[in-house]
Structure 1
């Protein structure tokens, strides 16, 4: 049964559980608000590829395509800075069997500090994840990124408000939740 609620531009169902991907006759996927959604097969293909590399977790596999073969070009993403590219290729080598992790915030000595340095980094083309870098490049979000980079107070105010909203979501912990092996069905 579709049990979504609207929190501004983000629609959450049972705490953002990915239920829109579930197949079946009485699911969010078949609900009227979801009829215009597409790309379900693409999401399944991506999930299958990631599961082959690192089952049930997400780590360096998230950035490998960006570092080595963006858009099947056999080249790195041209929007990533050369210094970050070198750092991430050293941390996440192609065909590595290790379980290395990379910091999302590439600001030296700021990895564990809650500040707006991350936004300054993506403005400098140092976004670890492609989607993060795209926030600084897209016309709809670039102004917000610049505003958050320029104003530590604005960042802290917006972050605080977002954390209050997130606290209202029923987060599952321990073995209450599951990482699906396939997006379209429950394990």
Structure 2
């Protein structure tokens, strides 16, 4: 109960403090499309039963949307030089699920539910389906009309970033250091291509392993080198969390304490005094992490939202109405 009370207070704070969020509400579709959230959840649940890795894909898709142009579904737009064409976004997944939910909603509630809301709700539901907390999310976002590949790199976190680089980007988005540590917990699910971490170690022609990043556990590095041998296919992926890869829990933070964070940007959380204590707290107390996740996710889903007469309600999530 205290968790729900704290979350409600945070929602009220956002709606009052951020003008762009002033038209978001919990009952936004109560009259116009009362079963909107149920239809999105059923779509995600059905797709997840066939693809247990979907939760990680949808969560990553939301991050890449909200950090560029705000949470306005700009990452979903197809075309030359759109966000989807940037190399950092070419490995994104989950688009088909969003498109499927949109098709259903257009049948029952044509022109009512935005792709931006669908993406936020789908990511929220994906976390819950994977074992994470259920979170109430205000809706009423509208879809953006701008999607440019040139906006991607300056706005997203790279896996090789230092703590200062990550703090700078999160701060610009209105997110705190606490949010940075909490939202990094998204890496408790999902997977990554070898190229995103292979520069942390080196294997010579004789098979000898050398750590380039000394913060990485050598046994874990050896395990990663076997999964990503030299010359391996670029399509190979590795689980972000080697222990419970499809369960949304606090194992990610336990992995960090064991120096088994997959990315350099993961490992720095343990090695920096500004974030070390929070990592240890989350590793020792899953409830603390899940409570914090609900609050930080709400902030993530409120970044740069378009409401009122801004943007549009797309008929199809991959193209603007114009």
TM-score by length of 1: 0.57
Check whether the contact 1:64–1:94 (CA below 8 A) recurs between aligned residues.
no
Gaps spanning 5+ residues in structure 1: where?
6-11, 23-36, 38-57, 177-187
CA distance in 2, matches of 1:126, 1:86: 11
| Partner SS for 2:242 | coil
Superposition deviation, residue 146 in structure 1: 0.6
Superposition deviation, residue 112 in structure 1: 1.0
Gaps spanning 5+ residues in structure 2: where?
1-18, 20-66, 72-82, 84-149, 155-167, 169-191, 204-208, 307-315
Q: Which residue of the other structure, out of 246, 250, 254, is the alignment partner of 1:112?
A: 246
Greater C-alpha Rg: 2
**Count of residues in correspondence between the two structures:** 127
Counterpart of 1:82? Answer: 218
CA RMSD of aligned residues (A): 3.4
Q: How is 1:1-187 mapped onto 2 (pairs within 5 angstroms)?
A: 14-15=69-70, 19=151, 59-68=193-202, 75-76=210-211, 77-107=213-243, 110-169=244-303, 175=318
For the structure 1 residues 88 and 13, does the alpha-carbon distance in structure 2 shift closer, same or farther, using more than 3 Å as the test?
Answer: closer
Superposition deviation, residue 163 in structure 1: 1.8
Superposition deviation, residue 174 in structure 1: 5.9
Superposition deviation, residue 124 in structure 1: 0.6
Superposition deviation, residue 95 in structure 1: 2.7
For the structure 1 residues 116 and 168, does the alpha-carbon distance in structure 2 shift closer, same or farther, using more than 3 Å as the test?
Answer: same
| Partner SS for 1:75 | strand
TM-score by length of 2: 0.34
The structure with more helix, counted as a fraction of residues: 2
Check whether the contact 1:123–1:136 (CA below 8 A) recurs between aligned residues.
yes
Deviations 1:121-152 (A, max 9, x none): 11110001011011111111111111111111
CA distance in 1, matches of 2:153, 2:242: 32
Deviations 1:28-60 (A, max 9, x none): xxxxxxxxx9xxxxxxxxxxxxxxxxxxxx721
Superposition deviation, residue 14 in structure 1: 1.8
CA distance in 1, matches of 2:273, 2:295: 24
Q: Which has the higher contact order (CA 8 A, sep 6+)?
A: 2
For the structure 1 residues 65 and 21, does the alpha-carbon distance in structure 2 shift closer, same or farther, using more than 3 Å as the test?
Answer: closer
Check whether the contact 2:197–2:263 (CA below 8 A) recurs between aligned residues.
yes
